[in-house]
Amino acid sequence: MKRLLVVLFVLAIVAVLGVAVMPVAAQDCTDAIGCVEIGPDDPITIAYMLTISGGTASLGEDSLGAIEVAIDDRGGELLGHDIELIGEDSLCSAEGGQAAGQRIAANPQVLGIIGSNCSSEAVAALPIISEAGMLMISPSNTAPRLTEADADKGGVWQPGYYRTAHNDLFQGAIAAEFAYNILGKTKLATVHDGSPYAESLQAVMADTFTELGGEVVFQGAVNVGDTDMSAILTEIAASGADIIYYPYFEPESDFFTAQSADTPGLEDVALMSADGTFVDTFPENTGPAAVGVFLSGPYVAESETYDTFLQRWDEVIGGVPPSGFHAHAFDATNILLNAIEQVGVVADDGTISIGRQALRDAISDLTDYAGLTGTLTCNETGDCATGEALAVFEVTQAELDGNWPPPVVWLPGMTEMMAPEG
């Protein structure tokens, strides 16, 4: 009753003063999972969820730099509003991914997330992000299960997940092709670290190697945090393997590579890792044993567009990208910003309304997008890359001396290996 009297009193005073009272109707949201309302003077907020500390920091720094370049290319603005970038360190672990996902999901203004780097982070964070109605586009998650919808096949896909990185069904296959057909190896040993990324990648490599006619003589694992690799290296030497594929991250890959040089019986065994080790700190942290190591990983063909990107990186960030997924992060950021621009409804006063489902739909419908990493088209579970942007590299003395990246020695479809420079 008191509230009603107050309202009547205010209206009476307004009437006496002759001031017109115009009702302000809230903008209706018809989006299936809700809308984000951005005030006339408020920023458009996007987030990153990347590993930016510890042994895997180079992966996160590589992606974060590309996000910043993409935002800078637009003058830091979109639809007349500043772009605000916030972020969380997801630590390349399931626990880090879960915590980062919870913190980001608690901010209702976040429109989309670029991340994560490591597949273990994404597996933990994805249910949280999806339930919040948000979306995430990963520049470097490669585990097949992330875009597999069938739980009986190990799938963990949730609506709102996308990636511009390749699916490891491609990477494992090209690694096997290179090892068997190009290097002529016939006895394979694989080692993983228990992460969804490494475990699934070595499995695809092993299956394809067997299909090609090779023999898998050893499959084992190390633990994240291990520093003494002598026991597993001795087992591998006894297995008779002529190539070892160990697709995991620093610092474990540094210790494994360095200690392999001191293991009797491995003197002539080829070493091959993958994109988790494709970082500029690997040669220096490993030492001379890194020279000659093959790395399967992301490849961006030389072009005027990519040269321009690298120039912009040097201007905005400085130097050169420290890992291999910067182009994927650049594509992911532009895909997100383009989608926001596409679906945002701008009122006369500058207020923007963005439907969350509309934003997801815009990315799900992406077709023939000309990105740095190739032509991208998203399928129904968020795989947007074709797997074409992959190659095998060989670390040389030049990388040990500070050069980066290492030279390409093989591309899918080649019948022989190119000689590395350096």
CB 295 within 8 A of CB 272: yes
Mean pLDDT for 49-64 is 96
pLDDT digits (tens, 9 = 90+) for 372-401: 999 999 999 999 997 778 999 999 999 999
C-alpha span between 76 and 42 (Å, rounded)? 13
Geometric angle at alpha carbon 48, from 47 and 51, rounded to 5°: 155
Give the confidence band of 9 by pLDDT, cuts at 50, 70, 90: very low
The alpha carbon of 413 is separated from its chain's Cα centroid by a whole number of angstroms, namely: 25
The alpha carbon of 214 is separated from its chain's Cα centroid by a whole number of angstroms, namely: 31
**Residues forming CATH 3.40.50.2300 domain(s) in the chain:** 35-165+325-376, 169-298+390-410
Mean pLDDT for 191-220 is 97
**More confident: 96 or 21:** 96
Give the confidence band of 2 by pLDDT, cuts at 50, 70, 90: very low
- Token digits for 255? 């210790």
C-alpha span between 39 and 179 (Å, rounded)? 56
- Token digits for 64? 């974060």
Q: Yes or no: is domain 35-165+325-376 CATH 3.20.20.10?
A: no
Choose the weakest-confidence range: 4-18, 25-39, 51-65, 322-336: 4-18
| Average pLDDT across the chain, whole number | 92
- Token digits for 219? 């499959």
Mean pLDDT for 60-73 is 98
Length of the chain: 422
The alpha carbon of 252 is separated from its chain's Cα centroid by a whole number of angstroms, namely: 20
Mean pLDDT for 163-170 is 94
**More confident: 419 or 42:** 42
Give the confidence band of 14 by pLDDT, cuts at 50, 70, 90: very low
Mean pLDDT for 300-319 is 95
76-79's contacts with Cβ under 8 Å and 24+ in sequence apart are 78/44, 78/337, 78/340, 78/341, 79/44, 79/340, 79/341, 79/344, 79/346, 79/352
Q: Is the dihedral of CA 307, 313, 314, 315 positive or negative?
A: positive
Query: pLDDT value at position 16?
Result: 39
Query: pLDDT value at position 74?
Result: 98
Mean pLDDT for 245-272 is 97
In the three-class reduction of DSSP (H, G, I as helix; E, B as strand; rest coil), residue 409 is classed as: strand
**Would the pLDDT of 182 be above 70?**
yes
In the three-class reduction of DSSP (H, G, I as helix; E, B as strand; rest coil), residue 302 is classed as: coil
Mean pLDDT for 99-110 is 98
**Would the pLDDT of 18 be above 50?**
no
Radius of gyration of the chain (CA): 25
Backbone angles phi, psi at 14, to 5 degrees: -60, -40
* Ramachandran assignment for 6, one of left (phi > 0), alpha (psi -120 to 50 degrees), beta (any other): alpha
Query: pLDDT value at position 389?
Result: 83
Provide CATH code, domain 169-298+390-410: 3.40.50.2300
